[in-house]
Every structure is written in C-alpha cells, then in structure tokens.
Amino acid sequence: MGASKTVHFTNKQNQIAEIAKAVGHPARVAILEYLAKVNACVCGDIVNELPLAQPTVSQHLKALKQAGLIKGSIDGNAVCYCIDEKGIEQLQTYFSKLSLMITEQKNTCC
Amino acid sequence: MGASKTVHFTNKQNQIAEIAKAVGHPARVAILEYLAKVNACVCGDIVNELPLAQPTVSQHLKALKQAGLIKGSIDGNAVCYCIDEKGIEQLQTYFSKLSLMITEQKNTCC
DNA sequence: TTATAATATTGCAATATTACGATAAATATT
DNA sequence: AATATTTATCGTAATATTGCAATATTATAA
C-alpha cells in the first residue's frame, strides 16, 4: 500500500508520530536550531541560512508549522518565524514519560 | 529529486533527524510504548500487539533498531526486544538543549 | 500604476516509505 | 529426519516525500 494505517492507532500515537516526523529531516532540524540560536523571531533570512531552494525551504517551514513546532506571523511582505514551544514540550513530556517507564527496568536479556 | 540532501547538514543534525524519523510513524510509537509498558524484554508477541502483518512489523522493528531506539537479542528461535535507552536519551537531551535556548525568549511578534 | 521583493503554490521527476504475500532461514519439537 | 514455529528478507504495488523551476500571491516602493 504505502499509506500508513493511522486508523489503527490512538490519537496520541498519531500525534506524537506526526511531530516526530516533522523533526525527521535534517533541513527541518537545522531550521529549528537556527530559530533557537537566534533566540528571536526571524523574518526572511531562513532561506539564506539553508543550502536549499526557496520553494523547498517554504515547504519545510509549512511542515514544521503544521506539526506545531514553529509559528509564523506576517510582517509586511515578509513572514516572521519562531519556535512554538508547545510542540517541543509535547515531545519532551512524551519522552520523559517513556523514560520514566523504563528507568526501573533491570532487563538482562537485551 | 526526492532524496534528502544529508550532505549539506551536520552529523548531529542528520543523527537527530534519523532518530526522530524512526519515531515518526504511529506503529513504531506503539511499539516503543508497548516495550516501555511491559517494562521488560519481549519475545515474539509484538506482532500480535499490532494491527499489521508480520513482515511489516519486522520492518518497523528493523527501523527502530537501526535508529538505536530498541535492542534485540536472539533467544532460541525467537527474538527478544527491549527499549534502548540511549536513543530516547539522545532525543531528550537534544530537545532539552533546544528548550533551554528558547526559554529566555520574549518574542512578541509570533 | 508599475515595478520590486518576499513568500507560497503548482507541477513534476526522482526517490523513499509503507504494507503485505511469498518465501527463506534458523531453531525447536515430534 | 520431518514438521512446526518464529523472524527476516524479497518482490512488488500503492502512496508519500523531497527538491526545484515556473508561476502565483501579497505587500512594499518608486
């Protein structure tokens, strides 16, 4: 088939997968890092920061936005982007829970 | 093209993207959750836990293993799987750093 | 109004992923 | 040895992603 069978999984599982998937590309990781580094809203210069064509960057920004990892606001004919902490927090909380569940583990077989 | 241009990004960026990508599918999220829940090495019954065919599950397990998120060890004619905490830790550390970088932020534009 | 600039969308080619039936490989059981 | 059980791999079809040129859109500037 090729299509992932999201129907069979919980909303939470699909949600986490969706956010993680958005992080699952080096260009989008680079965008997140850049936005975190400049520590501010950034208008316009994200395209110049990446070794990719403008439409490609625009696509990646869209993906990050849809996943709730970045926010964008229009400023004249430019668009300002910054990190949406909620998305990062969701992943952090999720992995913390997962981590907690396994810390007491004393598995010797693996 | 379709191929992601990993060459242009740092090793760290590619590494994080690779791990996140592995989490980027609900079936693999479900596998991680199951392994965390049972809190032990699990032999064999992962296939029964998922609404997917055995070869598909095997493929997902391989993806998680390659990303360093789970470990597997042979036990007779079965294989035992459990979470590899290193993978989870890497993501946690990374997002914590990212989170730290942006907590002082007082952006009002987004 | 007519450029100019910044970003988004469309269309398309190349590649990757997902899913599964069929089959292989390896060990366990009879 | 023959059979059953468990997991992995192969082959393949359906779908998704990635990347970019061309173009559209929107707002500013001249």
The 10s digit of each residue's pLDDT in A5-18 is: 677 899 999 999 99
- Chain A span 21-50 residues with beta carbon within 7 Å of strand C: 43-44, 47
Among A residues 19-38, those touching chain B with beta carbons less than 8 Å apart: 20-30, 32-33, 35-37
For residue range A91-101, what is the model confidence (pLDDT) as tens digits? 999 999 999 98
Cβ-Cβ contacts under 8 Å, A5 against chain B? 26-27, 51-52
For residue range A28-67, what is the model confidence (pLDDT) as tens digits? 999 999 999 987 888 888 999 999 999 999 999 999 999 9
For residue range B83-104, what is the model confidence (pLDDT) as tens digits? 999 999 999 999 999 999 887 6
Q: Is B103 exposed, middle or buried (0-12, 13-18, 19+ CB in 10 A)?
A: exposed
Angstrom distance, A76 CA to C23 C1': 61
What pLDDT score does A7 carry? 75
pLDDT grade for B19, boundaries at 50, 70 and 90: very high
Among B residues 32-91, those touching chain A with beta carbons less than 8 Å apart: 32-33, 35-37, 39-41, 50-52, 71-73, 75, 80-85, 88-89, 91
- Put simply, the answer to whether B28 touches A16 (Cβ < 8 Å) is no
Q: What is the DSSP string of A20-32?
A: HHHHSSHHHHHHH
- Put simply, the answer to whether A13 touches B33 (Cβ < 8 Å) is yes
What pLDDT score does B95 carry? 95
For residue range B30-86, what is the model confidence (pLDDT) as tens digits? 999 999 998 788 888 999 999 999 999 999 999 999 999 999 999 999 999 999 999
- For residue B102, give how far its alpha carbon lies from the nearest alpha carbon of chain A (Å): 6
In order of start, what are the domains of chain A with their CATH numbers?
Answer: 9-99 (1.10.10.10)
Using the 8-state DSSP alphabet, how is residue A101 labeled? H
**Two tokens, residue A6:** 């999201």
Whole-number Å distance between alpha carbons of A102 and A61? 34
Q: Is the CB of A79 under 7 A from strand C?
A: yes
- Three-state DSSP string of B16-58: HHHHHHHHCCHHHHHHHHHHHHHCCCEECCHHHHCCCCHHHHH
Cβ-Cβ contacts under 8 Å, B26 against chain A? 4-6, 8-10, 13-14, 17
